[in-house]
Amino acid sequence: MDYVSALVPPVVMAVFFTGLIVTIVKTQGGANKAKEDAAVDAAISRAEAVRQTPKTGSA
């Protein structure tokens, strides 16, 4: 019975990992893709705007 207790944790982890991968693949694209792309584009444009803003130092 020791072999059963030795095999259970890897099998459970493999099942959960497979479920995670399936969930990630299923959620790629679809209805949320445009929303996620818009959020990324907005974050990039904000970062570029901050980087391009001239810094005015008060001396």
- Domains of the chain by residue range: 2-48
Residue 51 has pLDDT above 90, yes or no: no
Residue 55 has pLDDT above 70, yes or no: no
Rounded Cα gap, residues 59 and 56, in angstroms: 9
Rounded Cα gap, residues 6 and 1, in angstroms: 9
The HSE-up count of residue 21 (CA atoms within 13 Å, CB side) is 6
What confidence tens digit (pLDDT) does each residue in 11-39 have? Answer: 999 999 999 999 988 877 777 777 878 88
* 55 phi, psi to nearest 5 deg: -90, 125
Rounded Cα gap, residues 39 and 33, in angstroms: 10
